[in-house]
Structure 1
Amino acid sequence: MKKLTIAIIGALTACVAAVPARAQLVLEANGARADGEWGGELGAGYSFGAGGFRLTPAAGLFLYQGNNDRYYQDSNGGNERCRDSRNGQYAKDSKCDNTAVKPYGRVEATYSIPLSATIGAGVRVGEDVRPYGTVAFPLAPTLSLKGNAGPHYFSLGLRVGL
């Protein structure tokens, strides 16, 4: 953990000291395991830095299958309908969807090896604070395949820089 902290502070110092800093909007879509659930992350951030070092604060939404036992799918004569377990009445089909959403925030400090990969570390704040390592491989000039992994958190997806 001490090495991770030193690396993040070093990258932050390099980013802040670099003038002028090149900034870019980044969008991410990831499949993820976070907060004890499987789901997807949709996020946006603002990346800035220079000399290969970048700092990226970001925020997003973690979408996953929720646990709402109130509504359920009932097979009534072969037709699936959504029912409310409290009163037995039919409900809108959207009530049986059970999609849950949690906001998250994160900060990443990375270094780009030209035409090869981007490596770094970050901290994700959701239900808990989770440190993680990150690596990204370029697929096109503004598109990367990106993975994050840390204790009780990992994700894999696409990152677009605009």
Structure 2
Amino acid sequence: MFIKKYTAVAIAAAIAFPCAPAMANDVMIEANAARAHDRWGGELGIGYTLTAGRFALRPIVGAFIYKGDNDRYYEDTFSNGQTRCRDSQTGQFAKDSECDDTAVKAYGKIEATYSIPHFAEIGGGVRFSSDKVRPYGTVGLPLGPRFSIKGNAGPKYYALGIKAGF
């Protein structure tokens, strides 16, 4: 599975490397509301944009943050207004950190896009996470010279958010 996951990354790097001197480079960050792994959550990522004319190649790494599956612990509120974390199986009090059901999964993406000046950036990408490879289409609409609203959609993956370049 390791070879399958990183083959696309290696191919993209092999294509981009000889063109690198002719490319303008730009660090970017993304913040998206996303549906991945059959769950809603948020994506926070950082990438590097390599451009040649109106074409761009963008490798991105990040974290998908979502509500996990640990329903064993819950917050119990008492009549005096205090809240404590409790273990639903034993009824015992637990550390407050046990009630934080936040889960995080790393992801990697590679996007190839074409810019239509002052209108949109369109293209496609591949998202790698948890032994899953998901292709998707992407559209970005500029909000300013360095910001855009961006949407991604593919099989079992949807995201909508903001991209900023630096």
Match of 2:159 in 1: 155
Q: CA deviation at 1:18?
A: 6.4
Is 1:49 aligned to residue 51 of structure 2? yes
Match of 1:84 in 2: 87
| Structure 2 residue ranges without an equivalent (≥5) | 1-10
Query: Please, which moves more after superposition, 90-99 or 32-41?
Result: 90-99
Q: CA deviation at 1:68?
A: 0.6
Tell me, in whole angstroms, the C-alpha distance in 2 between the residues paired with 1:115 and 1:122: 22
Match of 2:126 in 1: 123
Contact 1:60–1:105 (8 Å) recurs in 2? yes
Closer/same/farther in 2, CA of residues 138 and 31 from structure 1, 3 Å limit: same
Decide which of 75, 78, 87 is 1:73's aligned counterpart: 75
Tell me, in whole angstroms, the C-alpha distance in 2 between the residues paired with 1:20 and 1:81: 59
Tell me, in whole angstroms, the C-alpha distance in 2 between the residues paired with 1:85 and 1:34: 28
Closer/same/farther in 2, CA of residues 16 and 51 from structure 1, 3 Å limit: farther
Contact 2:20–2:50 (8 Å) recurs in 1? no
The Cα offsets for residues 48-86 of structure 1, whole Å up to 9 and x where unpaired, read as 121111100010000001111231122333533211235
Closer/same/farther in 2, CA of residues 146 and 65 from structure 1, 3 Å limit: same
Superposed CA RMSD in Å reads: 2.1
Contact 1:34–1:152 (8 Å) recurs in 2? yes
Contact 2:108–2:127 (8 Å) recurs in 1? yes
Decide which of 134, 147, 150 is 1:146's aligned counterpart: 150
Tell me which amino acid in the other structure corresponds to 1:23: N
The Cα offsets for residues 105-144 of structure 1, whole Å up to 9 and x where unpaired, read as 0100001111110000000011311000000000011000
* TM-score, length of structure 2 as denominator length: 0.84
Closer/same/farther in 2, CA of residues 14 and 81 from structure 1, 3 Å limit: closer
3-state DSSP of counterpart to 1:38: strand
User: How many correspondences in the alignment?
Assistant: 153
3-state DSSP of counterpart to 1:58: strand
Tell me which amino acid in the other structure corresponds to 1:158: I
Match of 1:23 in 2: 25
Match of 2:3 in 1: none
| Structure 1 residue ranges without an equivalent (≥5) | 1-8
Match of 1:102 in 2: 105
Identical counterparts, % of pairs: 56
